[in-house]
A and B are shown apart, each in its own frame.
Chain A
Amino acid sequence: MLREPRRLISAGIAIVLGVAFVALTLLLGDGTRATVRAQAAGSVGAATAVVSVSDTRGATPLATDAPEEIRSLAGVSDVRPATSTVVLQQADGYQQALTVSTVPPLTDATVLSAGRLPEGPGEIVLTDRTARVRSVAVGDRIVLTPVEQAGAGDGKPTTVTVVGTIAPGPTSHDRTNAMAAYATDAQIFAWQETPGYVEIMVDGTGDPSALVTAVAALPDVRAGQATVRTGPDEVDHRLEEYLHGSGILQGVLVGFAVVALMVAALVITNTFAILVAQRTRTLALLRCVGATRGQVFRQVVGEGLLIGAVGSVAGLVLALGLAALAVRLSRGSGTEILPFTPSLTSLVVPLLLGVGITVVAALHPARAATSVAPLAALRPISATPTPGGPGLIRAIAAAGLVLLGAAGLVDGATRPSLALGLAGGVVSFAGVLLLAIWLVPGLARVLGMVPARLAGAPGALAVENARRNPRRAATTAGALLIGTTLVSLMLVGAASGSATMDRVLAREVPVDAVAAPAGTLSPDTYERMAATPGVAAAVRVHGADLTWTADTAHGKDAVTGLPPQARDVLHDPSVLAGLDDTTILLPADSGVPDGAPVTVAGPAEQVTLRAVVPRDGSVLAVSDTTLAELAPDAGEQVWFRYAADADSATVTQDLTRTAGSAARIASSDSQRDQMQSIVDTMLWVVLAMLAMAVVIAIIGIGNTLGLSVLERTQESGLLRALGLTRRQLRAMIGWEALMLAAVGTLLGVALGIAYGVAGIHALLAVAGGADITVAVAIPWARLAAVVVLALAAGWLAAIAPARRAARISPASALVTE
């Protein structure tokens, strides 16, 4: 086998790609770890002790005089306090978060790119990246609103001037990908609910742990929810916190890498099976001259070991190269990876996996090789190795797995249980792979009508060739099946997830846009907003936090007072059904039965109303008359409906401009677009990972064809003698590749749709609770693109084998030995 290295090339490529994928995943994990450590170390610097307030929401910052208190301790040489808060930036109807922190000290790494540093309230600097992404320039004025504070509603919007931009180095506070800005501490305090510091670096002399104890004992530090650690401890802590999140990500990546390796294993198994079949004679001759079964077995497995080792080393080298490239390319980007030393695990695990999988893949063909009878050396080569017919046990086992798995899937989707659905998916898919030996040739026969019709005799021959060795066809198409199933699953899952999200948003934000005024809205501003082009209707509604009490449940929630005109702006006016001055609309999950009496209390009044609970209702509302009685000082909002033909993004922009600082505009479209872009980004990352599995599978198709062409040399010669032109012969091989690709892809897409639909039910129901109605969306255009791409790739994979086949001279192929 090693004397014919060409035959091993594609098996080798499969191993190289699989191992490179696994290794790269682990290496980038190493890199991230090293980078985060460097950045954590950079931000902590030489500090002896660090006081930090936990990141959890609602944690009280350290009092503003805490730094002075610490400074007065014995052995403290310097104190560097820092604070930070999150504000919402108003732009085009989007509310985008912006983290504003204490201005970092300028160093070699942290430099001012433009303008100057903020000198007082009303001034801010952005990171270069934030300025670029948000399209803000030095001198621009931006409106910032402090985030919603418990019960108090959103804070007052502030207009600030951007006075400069900063390129933060790894030592600055900003170590995440978040949008960041810097302002004076006074400005940040103004935005905080409780003004104070979130982090204090303490430089000191003497024993660090004694300093930590002393700092922790200060009343101001004890009062805040702060933790005091020594410098090195703080670095470790920050690393842990970050990696807790990225560990999950790395787990997912390794999962994809394992899928790629599994596909590679199928391709390798097939290659070895074909190689053994082709070498029947050589192996038989070995047996004739006295080789034992064990020796033949060891020879084949030994070859697997060798090719596995060579391929794995090559894959590792490739991964190291790619990792170095990634380090280089990431320089200066938002997610920079610093140069790092690979861990031993990242080097050893991919090698072991690569060699192990190759050897395991070679075991079955090696056992087949031992069953070659010595007499086979004396018989003429049979054209087709006759594989043992698939057994009854396999059929029963496969069908059982499919049924069991399908039951698990359905149960998982309806119950819903993600674990059950996942297990059902894996089990049923294993069953399908076992069934492939019947499914693939069967489907090839059905699909074969297309080439037979389009390409005549060569097409019909291609179909027969694709089906003639069911085991080989099943493995080849099965490898592609894995990749295309996962790709389709992801596409269907993402599309259904987005559709469900749309539905949820449409329910939660029942109108096109909402204006939340800062204080009281002047009639003039209201008129101007209502007159904005593209706004079809605008209605003022009020809302207040009211206490409601029924026999079965009670609560204190924001209740909307809806005027009858609200039906003009609601997406679904039917939610108003049953609402009048004597009723209260309650959500389906409120626990109150329809028709029950509910006592509602506001600051001014208390009334008893009759509950109206629509079946999938989500609105908590009373009539505006009722609300005015209960809470005369209720806050105001304006609800908008856009004209059907208006471009919602444009209308939202115009509305935002009209409102200025008087009101904040929230549009359901912009919220949806934002979430959509997150879903899309994740989808593309996942698809890129899975593409590797598909590429390996396509290489497998080329591999199978290449070896089949070698095996069918005589047959090709005969066909050429009988009048098949070179072009027809090439087309025949191409069609055979298309058949294999089509069977794998179509089956994969069908399975992917089924798994995607079941998965989204299980996942969303588990994540979102029972009140989510899952919207199933099948992205036909994208799925069609998957099919077209896979077919095109299959055809490309056939080019080299087809050329080789066409070069066969009929005379030399037909010379009888």
Chain B
Amino acid sequence: MTTTPAPNTPDTRITPDHIPPAPAARTDRLTKIYGTGEATVTALDHVTVAFPAGRFTAIMGPSGSGKSTLMHCIAGLDTATSGRSWIRDTEITGLSDDKLTVLRRDHIGFVFQAFNLLPTLSAADNIVLPLRLARRTPDRDWFDRIVTVLGLGDRLGHLPSQLSGGQQQRVAVARALVTRPEVIFADEPTGALDSAAGADLLSFLRRSVTELGRTVVMVTHDEHAASYADRVVRLADGRIVAEEDQAAGEAPRHVA
């Protein structure tokens, strides 16, 4: 692993600790209700939360707490029943499906627990897929840099089936980074990995924030995974029960 200098994108990177950074994503009384009649389940109950840019935030909570639903609604994968949400300055509640799709493509990165990659495409093709969908040409330097940071240089021509689980997730992280999105959402990204590969992946997410200046929002139920984050938002029964900054996330930044 090479130590690379911080990217020259000061606007999203270091912000003085005493001034809260502008949020990369935020919600206002976001509510999601599944089902009708007696089978109604309130997955999100008036959730108001902000995710600061350039920080690594973990959303924690037990199964059924609504953490995945929250992520899906903020990321424009699912529509909320009521309330509003924004990616940077764009309000996404009420956007048409096409506009929402383009927003996801150009401004949001995703890392899912499993099944992140298209089995028919090589690692390199998987990484640049969002750019191809937008008919944009990949920025060669940025691509090389991501690949170097993630240690994927010699795996680019491989198909997903030829990669280990950890490598597959790293390809997913590379893909999430390649469009320089406003925010990267990671949904239990280490859920299917062994502990060593999981730790590796979390360090990469951490470095994406620290070294590459990205914003990461990670859904997890694993306290150890959450310890890599700058901030933890705790959810229970569709409500936010705690929001805490933590120093643990700072440590790797000093390493870099």
A positions within 8 Å CB-CB of B: 380, 383-384, 456-458, 460-461, 464-465, 467-468, 714-715, 718-728, 809-811, 814-816
Contacts and interface: CB of A to CB of B under 8 A. Distances in A.
Nearest to B78: A811
Interface string B75-87: 1011000000000
Contact of B120 (A464, A721, A723, A810): A464
A384 B121 CA distance: 13
A256 to B, nearest CB: 38
A728 B133 contact: yes
Contact of A722 (B119, B133, B188): B133
Contacts of A719: 118
Contacts of A728: 133
B116 interface: yes
Given A811-B72, A811-B78, A722 B129 contact: yes
Interface stretch (B19-27, B47-55, B100-108, B201-209): B100-108
26 contacts: A456-B133, A457-B129, A457-B132, A457-B133, A461-B121, A464-B118, A464-B120, A465-B120, A468-B119, A715-B115, A718-B115, A719-B118, A720-B101, A721-B104, A722-B110, A722-B129, A723-B102, A723-B105, A723-B106, A723-B130, A724-B133, A726-B101, A728-B133, A814-B115, A815-B68, A816-B188
A726 B72 CA distance: 18
Scoring A461, A467, A719, A721 by chain B CB atoms within 10 A of each residue's CB, the highest score goes to: A721
B112 A814 contact: yes
Nearest to B101: A725
Contacts of A460: 132
A715 B115 CA distance: 8
B98 interface: yes
Contacts of B68: 815
Contacts of B188: 816
B114 interface: yes
A469 B110 CA distance: 27
Interface string B190-222: 010000000000000000000000000000000
A715 B116 CA distance: 8
A384 B119 CA distance: 8
A719 B101 CA distance: 10
B18 interface: no
Contacts of A726: 97-98, 101
A816 B191 contact: yes
B101 A816 contact: no
Contacts of A727: 98
Contacts of B130: 722-723
Nearest to A725: B101
A721 B77 contact: yes
Query: Which bracket fits the contact residues of B?
Result: 20 to 34
A461 B72 CA distance: 25
Given A722-B104, A816-B112, A811 B118 contact: no
B129 A725 contact: no
B95 to A, nearest CB: 13
A301 to B, nearest CB: 31
Contacts of B191: 816
B140 interface: no
B224 interface: no
B148 interface: no
Contacts of A811: 72, 77-78
A727 B101 CA distance: 11
A811 B34 CA distance: 13
Contact of B118 (A456, A718, A814, A816): A718
B101 A724 contact: yes
A725 B98 contact: yes
Nearest to B134: A723
Nearest to B109: A722
A464 B101 contact: no
A809 B79 CA distance: 10
A815 B77 CA distance: 11
B78 A468 contact: no
B113 interface: yes
Given A722-B129, A811-B72, A816-B191, A383 B119 contact: yes
Scoring A461, A723, A725 by chain B CB atoms within 10 A of each residue's CB, the highest score goes to: A723
B104 A383 contact: no
Contact of B110 (A380, A458, A464, A721): A721
Contacts of A464: 118, 120-121
Given A465-B120, A722-B104, A816 B114 contact: yes
Nearest to A715: B118
B135 interface: yes
A466 to B, nearest CB: 10
B191 to A, nearest CB: 7
Contacts of B114: 380, 816
Interface string B119-161: 1110000000110111100000000000000000000000000
Contacts of B105: 722-724
Contacts of B77: 721, 809-811, 814
A384 to B, nearest CB: 6
Given A809-B78, A814-B77, A725 B118 contact: no
A14 to B, nearest CB: 28
B150 to A, nearest CB: 18
Contacts of A718: 112, 115-116, 118
A456 B97 CA distance: 21
Contacts of A468: 119-120
Nearest to B191: A816
Contacts of B75: 721
A457 B130 CA distance: 9
A728 B129 CA distance: 13
Given A726-B97, A810-B77, A456 B115 contact: no
Contacts of B113: 816
B49 to A, nearest CB: 18
Nearest to A465: B120
Nearest to A380: B114
Nearest to B97: A726
Nearest to B112: A814
Nearest to B185: A721
B77 to A, nearest CB: 4
Contacts of B78: 809-811
Contacts of B115: 383, 714-715, 718, 814, 816
A725 B187 CA distance: 22
Given A714-B115, A727-B98, 11 more contacts: A380-B114, A383-B115, A456-B132, A456-B133, A718-B118, A719-B118, A721-B104, A722-B110, A724-B133, A810-B77, A811-B72
A714 B112 CA distance: 11
A719 B106 CA distance: 13
Nearest to B107: A723
Contacts of B132: 456-457, 460
Contacts of A721: 75, 77, 104, 110, 112
Nearest to A456: B135
Contacts of A814: 77, 112, 115, 187
B253 to A, nearest CB: 29
Nearest to B72: A811
A716 B98 CA distance: 15
Contacts of A465: 120
Nearest to B68: A815
Contacts of B187: 814
A464 B118 CA distance: 10
A718 B106 CA distance: 15
Contacts of B102: 723, 725
A575 to B, nearest CB: 65
Contacts of B119: 383-384, 468, 715
B122 to A, nearest CB: 10
A347 B119 CA distance: 49
A517 to B, nearest CB: 78
A723 B133 contact: yes
Contacts of B97: 725-726
A372 B106 CA distance: 42
B116 A723 contact: no
A725 B118 CA distance: 16
